[in-house]
Amino acid sequence: MSEVVEVAVEIVSAVLCFILVKFMFKPYMLTREARYLGLPLGFAFLGISETFLAIGIQQTIEQLRLLSLLTRTFAYVFLATSYYFSKKPSKNSRLLWDVAISLIVVALTTSALLLIRSSQIGIQIPTNLSVALRILALICISYICIHTLRSHIRSPEPSTIWIPLGFILLGISQYSLIIWAAEENYAPGYAFAGALVARLAGLSVFLAVSYLSFHKKRGANEKHTA
């Protein structure tokens, strides 16, 4: 895959993520509950990750590539944490949510500084670390898929089935990247190309669901006020 195409895919992915942040920030604006910040924060970090990667590829900056990988992993940690606390509105869960988010932010900042510092002084980042981060991201995505599927089974609605489908596509993308990262010299280019296609498909599903949900709610509000 050419560098131009790869950069274009990363830019499109970043744009889709930032549009999703706009839609997903609305529940927090309405309720002012911190637990609703997980989804927009997660997709914001995904968008930042794709932005870092696009610049890193174009400018050949290895530090940005590493930072992109780390940011993407923590984005999925944010999303998994958000879904874990989504059904726990008690005071204790809110406190745990605040503590969890604080710890994640501290861990992300510390890890980013260590990665950047290590690359600056010439320490090689092992391939195993890259694979480990992608596996952690896949574990988080798998948890989200199970959580959203269970929610759909408990309260089946035509629109909710698309949410686990979107995360399944992101999981396929992440799994393909694990194969590519583990055997970069031997894995076929199809694994990497398939990862990019699956990611774009997953983000497109989320965008379609968010857009339709937003307009459905706005239509219901206008009908109610009429």
Residue-number span of the structural domain to which 21 is assigned: 3-225
Instruction: For the chain, 226 residues long, give each residue's pLDDT as a single digit of tens.
Output: 577 888 999 999 999 999 999 888 876 677 666 666 778 888 999 999 999 999 988 888 777 888 888 899 989 988 988 888 776 555 556 667 667 766 777 777 777 667 666 665 555 556 677 788 889 999 999 999 999 888 878 877 776 788 889 999 999 999 988 887 776 555 556 778 889 999 999 999 999 888 887 666 554 444 443 4
Which CATH number is 100's domain given?
Answer: 1.20.1070
Number of domains observed in the structure of the chain: 1
* H helices present in 86-188, as ranges: 91-120, 127-154, 162-182
Element spanning 44, H or E:
helix 38-59
Tell me the DSSP string of 106-129: HHHHHHHHHHHHHHHTTPPPPHHH
Tokens of 102: 């604080």
Computed over its alpha carbons, how large is the radius of gyration of the chain?
A: 18
What's the full length of the chain, in residues? 226
pTM, to two decimals: 0.82
